[in-house]
Chain A
Amino acid sequence: GAGVSQSPSNKVTEKGKDVELRCDPISGHTALYWYRQSLGQGLEFLIYFQGNSAPDKSGLPSDRFSAERTGGSVSTLTIQRTQQEDSAVYLCASSFAGYEQFFGPGTRLTVL
């Protein structure tokens, strides 16, 4: 596709359940980023993948959060044992050469 895609666009889950969020970056982009945005807030960095280097996980809020990027392309963000405070819009972005980031439409996660 021409842009970054994310799925699902909306996810409603019950507290304690695990969720997986998917990101398909722009083909050829070497860097992939995950951010979280709570209502009315700015973007909170979660994790960053660059090529074959070890990911920068410094933004993950707890060990319930993990992400992987398979084959240098698609990425999955997994949240285990979801809590209500995990409710937010999760945004994925990709870039080439680390400058302009192209964002996907986001996944709105609601934890009941």
Chain B
Amino acid sequence: SQQGEEDPQALSIQEGENATMNCSYKTSINNLQWYRQNSGRGLVHLILIRSNEREKHSGRLRVTLDTSKKSSSLLITASRAADTASYFCATDRGSTLGRLYFGRGTQLTVWP
């Protein structure tokens, strides 16, 4: 079963707007990661946030983590058409073995 559940399933915005995607999970975690996928091919790692962190930034990306609510959000500021992709969250379900559990993803479309 999917560990992460992203919402919305699809999001369409104009260039320059901010995009916010959410992820909920069910078990304890060591860390949560966000990945991006273009055109159904390989995934690219965006950011990792540890369970003792609440917020992390990387360029135009901002990730928050609320372990009490078992949820995370990914904010992309000043979006660009090139940000169009699917975005997935993944957790380790508290395991240190390295296996990740992915959600079904949010399909983001940024219109020029």
Residues of A in contact with B (beta carbons under 8 Å apart): 4, 31, 33, 35, 37, 39, 41-43, 45, 48, 50, 56, 89, 91, 93, 95, 98-106
Q: How far apart are the CA atoms of A42 and B97 in the complex, in Å?
A: 21
Given contacts A43-B88, A48-B97, contact A103 B42 (CB under 8 A): yes
Chain B: interface residue total (CB-CB under 8 A): 23
- Report whether A42 and B103 are in contact in the complex, using a CB–CB cutoff of 8 Å: yes
- Report whether A95 and B98 are in contact in the complex, using a CB–CB cutoff of 8 Å: yes
Q: How far apart are the CA atoms of A33 and B33 in the complex, in Å?
A: 16
Question: Shortest Cβ distance from A57 into chain B, in angstroms?
Answer: 12
Could you show 28 A-B contacts with beta carbons less than 8 Å apart?
A4-B42, A39-B40, A41-B104, A42-B2, A42-B4, A43-B43, A43-B88, A45-B100, A45-B101, A48-B98, A50-B97, A50-B98, A56-B99, A89-B41, A91-B42, A93-B43, A98-B97, A98-B98, A99-B31, A99-B48, A99-B98, A101-B33, A101-B45, A101-B98, A101-B100, A102-B45, A105-B42, A106-B42
Kindly list chain B residues whose C-beta atoms are within 8 Å of the C-beta of A42. Answer: 2, 4, 88, 102-105
Question: Shortest Cβ distance from A69 into chain B, in angstroms?
Answer: 14
Kindly list chain A residues whose C-beta atoms are within 8 Å of the C-beta of B88. Answer: 42-43
Task: Please name the residue on chain B nearest to A42 by beta carbon.
Answer: B104
Interface string of B21-39 (1 = CB under 8 A from A): 0000000000101010000
Interface residues of B in 51-105 (CB under 8 A from A): 88, 96-105
Kindly list chain B residues whose C-beta atoms are within 8 Å of the C-beta of A99. Answer: 31, 48, 98
Task: Please name the residue on chain B nearest to A37 by beta carbon.
Answer: B40
